[in-house]
Amino acid sequence: MSASVRLSVSSLRAHKRRFAGTFLAVFLGVAFLAGTLVMGDTLRASFDSMFGNATSGTDAVVRSADAITTPGGSQGVRRPVDADLVGTLERVPGVAAAVPDIEGAGQLLGADGEPIGGQGPPTLAGNWITDPQLNPYELAEGRAPEKSGEVVVNRGTAERGDLKIGDTTTLRTPEPVQVTIVGLATFGGEDGMAQVTFTGMTQADAEKYLTARPGEATGILVRAGPGVGEQELVDRLTPVLPKGVEALTGQESAEENTEMISSQFLSVFTTFLLVFSGVALLVATFSIHNTFAIVVAQRTREHALLRALGASRRQITAATLVEAGVVAVTASAAGLAGGIGIAAGLQALFPAIGFPFPEGDLVVKALSLVLPLAVGIVVCPASALLPAVRAGRTAPLAALRETAVDSSGASRVRAVTGTSLAALAVTLTLTGVLVSPSVWLAGSGAVLALASFVVLGPVASTTAVRVLGGPLDRLRGVTGGLARRNALRSPKRTAATASALMIGVAVVSLFTVFGAFLRATMDQTVSRSFAGDVAVSTPSFGGGGSGLRPELAGAIGQLPEVDTAVGLGSGVAEVEGQGRPLTVTDPAALERTFDLGAVRGSLDALGTDGIAITEKEADKQDLTIGDTARLTFTDGRSETFTVRAVYGQSELAGDYVITRPAWAPHRIQDSDTLVAVSFKDGVSTDAGKAAVESVAARYGNPDVQTRDEYAQSSAGGIDMMLTLVYALLALAVLIALLGMANTLTLAVHERIRELGLLRAVGQTRPQLRAMVRWESVLVAAFGTVGGLGLGAFLGWVLVKASDGASDSAFAFAMPPVQLAVVALVGLAAGALAGLRPARRAARLDVLRAIATE
């Protein structure tokens, strides 16, 4: 064993507590990263298995070959196929069975009358397939539907809606249909496919409510006879298929479904978690670096004695790095085990919060083990590198000094470098968001801004602590003054300790500002675009709801209290070869209820062959009033439309507007996403809303909300996102808190003699505890104020970058109450971090402390 290794092992044995905080910081960062990766592996494998089990009896799927995908869309919209094709397929040699598969939107109401699901995951309805091998759902209880009005629902949906066999409820298709539950089903052995809801109907009911006309199906499921493989079956089916229809194997269909889930949820969710793992590791890096920096400063005399006895610089540096390596390896290995435990905990927790995590064993791939281990092993020694180099530079004469307290200050080079970085960051950011909108420039400026804050920390800490700690002299007397001076004695240490908390607070502040911006933008959009009095809608955050029956707008419009009621439906088409969402509505009523900005042409004259578009789309497509555009719909038919109106704003109205008669020949399952209602003069909001609710009750009882209520509910997903963000960032704040506690503990250790002298000259134990606690609060205040400033700046950058990347008008908002809460939490974290070091300091034996060398 080399001398460096022996020195490291001896140091670790003698100072186990010293490295406990470093160990915990590495452990938490690695555990969170490993848990995220393992959870992603497990979810993907579970969904693979679930789809594989559910479609194991399906050897081929026949469907439309073409799909229209809009920007931001996932799989796209396909036209239906002719259900009569089943007979043709059944005559193909090797086909054992073929059945039509009809699928559409259908949202069940629970026992309390509230809709089940619809907040992102789809709410599906379809025909109950009687061939058990071709049906992806398996009947678990009850029986299959035999007559109109009978349905089977997946068991998870029934449990969430407090429904059971024999209950009667409403199914929105969007037409409200009274249904009786006669059976409960599972999907691939699970109670459901995540939070997706499914209602199985008779084929006649599915054709009636989910298709535009009888005889259509979403696709056809085919089962092969004995000895016929999936690919062989597809090869036999392909020659008999009409133009525009394709066949794919059951395995390809299952993989496509898994990929859809992955692209829509798993990839986004795991990426989201990985970002916060990175934040946690970044915060841990500061805590680790700070710990080793203080340890090296405290061991100056020890290193000097070793140098005087013949140890080389390389040996001292190597000894420090070996210590960091030992901590890194042990903490990272423990972190891997902790990560697997986190993934197992999430697997048990998800069902409790409403997300059915598929059952099964955890899946741990090699990358999910190697990557977190490598990150942990690299981060810890890298964080200790500079302190290790500093330790190797210790001069032998330092052994003659009386104290080894770190009193390093901020250098002029640091001030110049930090100021230059800050100036460059501001220049790049302002250029990227104001002069020449560029996400890359804005992002580079944001990263440089973070770096400049870290570099300038020691420079700013002296002034900041003096200002923030000024009131302590008056409020806490000598105790407060001593706390302020202790925080001032080492600007580098104060800045490094505060930096970990600063990053956590900055990220929290960034998302708080961005969330406030999203809410303000939604309020502005509704206030500016929606001129109506109430809105009728179904909860559909993420597009999961079933929509509203188109006849609802007409029924509301006949009320004596109502002046105008206009429904906004949605469709898709290819406009000159590019997939685009369409708004299907009454254009004349739309203009009376929504602020469309300046309108050129006439919205009244669209008819069945006219279209209205926004100014920005007209510029993109090089179209003006009187020009024609070729639209290709999901049924495969193409028609020429004439541009008869160009309007300015598009937030709620969309970029392309056509009439309902123009859309009717091409629709699949017609529905409205919103009905906007304006009352006649003299009608109060309460009276008008009550009248609208009486009509809405006959159409599935959708929500009737005032304009303010609609804006608030539309932004409901933002609060869900922020709740998750804050929960995840709690880990980063926890690591920062542990780092502060570790730093203060080490600082108390190096000031044992000083504290003993204070006690000897009359300082009481409560005063000593208060002094250490207030020192912690001052450091936390510095980190919190810096984090709030940095987070607010980065939030502004994110808002302006989003504004520049979009054609919509955004509203910037600074939430003072939420940011004040963040500031209080940061200060409370500082007070909490100081509790244990304060208790340790107060328990010091006075005589032993004075005698300490």
Instruction: List, for residues 106-142, the tens digit of each pLDDT value.
Output: 889 899 888 887 666 678 899 999 998 898 899 999 9
With vertex at residue 661, the alpha carbon angle to CA 657 and CA 663, rounded to the nearest 5 degrees, is: 55
pLDDT at 407: 46
202 vs 148: CA distance, rounded Å = 7
How confident is the model at residue 501, as a pLDDT? 79
What is the three-class DSSP state of 613?
Answer: strand
State the pLDDT at residue 411.
67
Average pLDDT over residues 747-757: 69
Report which of residues 221 and 72 the model is more confident about: 221
Alpha carbons 677 and 533: distance in angstroms, whole number: 6
Number of neighbours of residue 244 by Cβ within 10 angstroms: 11
Buried b (16+ CB within 10 A) or exposed e, 181-217: bbbbbbbbebbbbbbbbbbbbbbebbbebbbeeeebb
Q: Say whether pLDDT at 338 is over 70.
A: yes
Per DSSP, 5 falls in state H
Cβ 541 vs Cβ 121: under 8 Å = no
Q: Is the pTM of this model over 0.85?
A: no
Residue 495 in contact with residue 415, Cβ under 8 Å?
A: no
Higher pLDDT, 531 or 534: 534
Q: What's the mean per-residue pLDDT of the chain? A: 80
Cα torsion 204, 210, 216, 222 to 10°: value is -80
Share of residues in the chain with pLDDT > 70 (%):
82
Task: Report which of residues 672 and 387 the model is more confident about.
Answer: 672
Q: How confident is the model at residue 339 (pLDDT cuts 50, 70, 90)?
A: confident
Tens of pLDDT, residue by residue over 267-306, are 666 777 777 777 777 777 777 777 777 666 666 666 667 6
Query: Is beta strand 176-187 parallel, antiparallel or unpaired with respect to 150-154?
Result: parallel
Q: How far apart are CA 657 and CA 607, in angstroms?
A: 11
What are the residue ranges spanned by the domains of the chain? Answer: 1-60+251-404, 61-250, 462-532+710-853, 548-701
* Number of Cα atoms under 13 Å in the Cβ half of residue 123: 27
**Which of 448, 464, 475 has the alpha carbon at shortest distance from 498?**
464
pLDDT tens-digit map of 358-377:
566 778 888 888 888 888 88
- State residue 360's pLDDT score: 63
Lowest mean pLDDT among 11-15, 607-611, 765-769, 833-837: 11-15
pLDDT for 98 equals: 93
Query: 447 near 506, Cβ under 8 Å?
Result: no
Report how far residue 196's alpha carbon sits from residue 358's, in angstroms, rounded to the nearest whole number.
13
Task: Report which of residues 465 and 350 the model is more confident about.
Answer: 465
Q: Could you give the percent of the chain with pLDDT greater than 90?
A: 16
CA 291/CA 499 separation, integer angstroms: 13
Does the pLDDT of residue 181 top 90, yes or no?
yes
Which of 11-20, 239-248, 452-461 bottoms out in mean pLDDT, i.e. has the lowest? 11-20
Residue 541 binned pLDDT confidence (cut-offs 50, 70, 90):
very low
Least confident of 216-230, 436-450, 740-754, 781-795: 740-754
Whether the bond into 815 is cis, omega within 30 of 0: no
Is 614's pLDDT higher than 70? yes
- Other residues' Cβ atoms within 10 Å of the Cβ of residue 827: 18
Residue 64 zone, left/alpha/beta (φ > 0; ψ -120 to 50; rest): beta
Would you place residue 542 in the very low, low, confident or very high pLDDT band (cuts 50, 70, 90)? Answer: very low
Residue 777, φ and ψ in degrees, nearest 5 = -65, -40
Flag whether pLDDT at 788 surpasses 60.
yes
**What distance in Å separates the CA atoms of residue 24 and residue 740, rounded to the nearest whole number?**
13
Distance from C-alpha of 125 to C-alpha of 144, rounded to nearest angstrom: 14
Residue at token pair 């409200």 = 176
Sequence-distant contacts of 849-852: CB under 8 A, at least 24 apart: 849/752, 849/753, 849/755, 849/756, 849/757, 849/759, 850/753, 850/756, 850/757, 850/760, 852/752, 852/753, 852/756
Q: Where is pLDDT greater, at 334 or 433?
A: 334
